[in-house]
């Protein structure tokens, strides 16, 4: 009965005790899953280890769709839009979709290949790609392509290649698709630096298991998800683009300026902030003056005024000591307190500090100048009063891996990271808190919840 404990039946005895046994008796053999990280990347890695493609592919495609609205992926939309506009006013929806598929396929294949290579190598390729030569070359390519939007030349495949392509399809169409595919492949460099939780999980899975089939399939599915906005651009081409006349020429010039802006944005991480801001001054004021000087409708005049004002804001900002192109006048207003980090460089420095925490918890932040999400965390998350209050009694450390030298690689390898952004939390004894890693951008509310593990 209920009052008779079954002494010879351990399971019944446990159920009869009012307090849960698990609070008193530790498990004899803790399951392997108990030591797995409980953060987003850890859960995704567990999904990958299940090996079920019917679960993995839709999951990572959905995650890719979410990533498609991040600052790292959105720049591909104007690039593809420029290509479609360059087709002319007679572009149909089917043609626009075909161009977007070619572009997206090029991006997805190269993105997957870079990810698999990074996973097998055990280090992120994003930092290696974020140097002046690679970014400068891509910026020059964007500038060169923008000239076609201004009517200086027409993109055309060489005649010899056209004659070969004509045997299978229309020569101009096939050649254009090949060029768009290559542009998509190059654009994968834009997506590469974004290390969010899904990408980190896939890279970690590949590096540990060497299973390029599952890991590569997850990366490709994620790239397909990121391509959804591009597909929508292609499908809507026939409905959104103007048909002919001066409007079409104005739209082409606008996309030419947009491509110049994209080139400058891509090369900005390797330029001093003052130089970045002066570039925006030239581009924005120049385009604004052009729109105001030429005859056009009130929409063009309004756009010209807006561009000129934005350019003048950049000029006033850089002249008055501002060094933030995204907020050129912020230094003139109220100062927002942010977190103050102690910079470290080597694993030895980190170990020394963790050995003597002084009874404080520790937060280690991985940062790089080219990391868009890192700067989002600085401007939107680290300034939040609740975040600063949570970390008021913690030791705040930061390692800058912009240089990607031997010390930076060793620090990343120490924690199995493939690049920033990444935040590691440690307890008062200097031990990493399981399942408390923050990979990718988190807003103030979510980051505050993540910091609850420090207590």
Most confidently modeled range among 48-52, 92-96, 224-228: 224-228
Contact 39, 201 (CB under 8 A): no
- Whether 351 and 325 share a structural domain: no
Report yes or no on 316 lying in a domain.
yes
Q: What is the mean pLDDT of residues 156-181?
A: 53
Number of domains the chain is built from: 3
CATH number at residue 419: 3.40.30.10
Phi and psi dihedrals of 113, rounded to 5?
-65, -40
- Whether 352 and 326 share a structural domain: no
In this predicted structure, the answer to whether residue 191 has a pLDDT above a threshold of 90 is no
Report yes or no on 18 lying in a domain.
no
Report yes or no on 57 lying in a domain.
yes
Residue 342: strand, helix, or coil? strand
Residues 227, 100: Cα–Cα separation, whole Å = 9
Confidence of residue 5 (pLDDT cuts 50, 70, 90): very low
- Whether 108 and 217 share a structural domain: yes
- Whether 302 and 166 share a structural domain: no
Residues 222, 405: Cα–Cα separation, whole Å = 29
Domain extent for 195: 42-245
Confidence of residue 2 (pLDDT cuts 50, 70, 90): very low
Task: List, for residues 120-156, the tens digit of each pLDDT value.
Answer: 765 555 566 666 777 788 788 778 877 877 777 655 5
Task: List, for residues 253-272, the tens digit of each pLDDT value.
Answer: 887 888 888 888 878 878 88
- Whether 402 and 371 share a structural domain: yes
In this predicted structure, the answer to whether residue 347 has a pLDDT above a threshold of 90 is yes
- Whether 207 and 276 share a structural domain: no
- Whether 88 and 159 share a structural domain: yes
Q: What percent of the chain has pLDDT over 90?
A: 22
Most confidently modeled range among 205-214, 349-358, 414-423: 349-358
- Whether 230 and 329 share a structural domain: no
Report yes or no on 36 lying in a domain.
no
Name the residue with higher pLDDT: 328 or 202.
328
Report yes or no on 35 lying in a domain.
no
Residues 68, 61: Cα–Cα separation, whole Å = 10
């Amino acid at each position: 009965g209920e009052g008779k404990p079954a002494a010879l039946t351990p399971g019944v005895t446990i159920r009869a005790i009012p307090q849960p046994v698990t609070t008193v008796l530790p498990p004899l053999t803790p399951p392997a899953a108990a030591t797995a990280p409980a953060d987003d990347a850890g859960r995704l890695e567990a999904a990958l280890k299940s090996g079920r493609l019917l679960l993995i592919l839709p999951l990572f495609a959905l995650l890719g769709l979410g990533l498609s609205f991040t600052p790292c992926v959105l720049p591909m939309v104007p690039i593809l839009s420029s290509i479609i506009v360059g087709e002319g006013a007679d572009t149909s929806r089917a043609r626009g979709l075909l161009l977007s598929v070619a572009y997206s396929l090029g991006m997805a294949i190269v993105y997957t290949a870079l990810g698999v290579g990074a996973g097998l190598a055990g280090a992120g390729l994003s930092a290696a790609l974020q140097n002046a030569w690679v970014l400068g070359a891509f910026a020059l390519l964007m500038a060169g392509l923008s000239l076609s939007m201004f009517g200086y030349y027409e993109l055309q495949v060489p005649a010899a290649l056209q004659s070969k392509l004509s045997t299978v399809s229309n020569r101009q169409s096939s050649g254009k698709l090949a060029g768009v595919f290559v542009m998509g492949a190059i654009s994968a460099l834009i997506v590469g630096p974004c290390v969010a939780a899904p990408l980190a999980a896939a890279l970690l899975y590949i590096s540990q298991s060497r299973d390029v089939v599952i890991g590569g399939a997850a990366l490709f599915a994620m790239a397909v998800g990121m391509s959804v906005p591009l597909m929508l651009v292609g499908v809507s081409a026939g409905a959104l683009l103007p048909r002919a006349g001066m409007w079409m020429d104005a739209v082409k010039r606008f996309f030419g300026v947009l491509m110049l802006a994209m080139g400058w944005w891509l090369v900005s991480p390797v330029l001093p902030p003052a130089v970045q801001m002066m570039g925006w001054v030239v581009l924005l004021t120049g385009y604004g003056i052009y729109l105001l000087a030429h005859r056009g409708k009130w929409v063009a005049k309004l756009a010209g005024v807006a561009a000129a004002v934005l350019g003048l804001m950049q000029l006033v900002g850089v002249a008055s000591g501002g060094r933030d192109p995204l907020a050129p006048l912020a230094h003139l207003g109220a100062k927002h307190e942010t977190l103050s980090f102690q910079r470290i460089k080597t694993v030895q420095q980190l170990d020394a500090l963790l050995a003597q925490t002084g009874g404080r918890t520790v937060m280690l932040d991985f940062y790089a100048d080219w990391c868009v999400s890192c700067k989002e965390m600085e401007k939107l998350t680290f300034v939040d009063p609740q975040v600063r209050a949570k970390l008021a009694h913690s030791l705040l450390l930061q390692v800058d891996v912009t240089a990607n030298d031997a010390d930076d690689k060793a620090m990343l390898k120490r924690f199995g990271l493939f690049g920033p952004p990444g935040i590691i939390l440690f307890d008062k004894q200097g031990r990493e808190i399981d399942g408390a890693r923050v990979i990718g951008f988190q807003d103030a509310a979510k980051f505050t919840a993540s910091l609850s593990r420090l207590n």
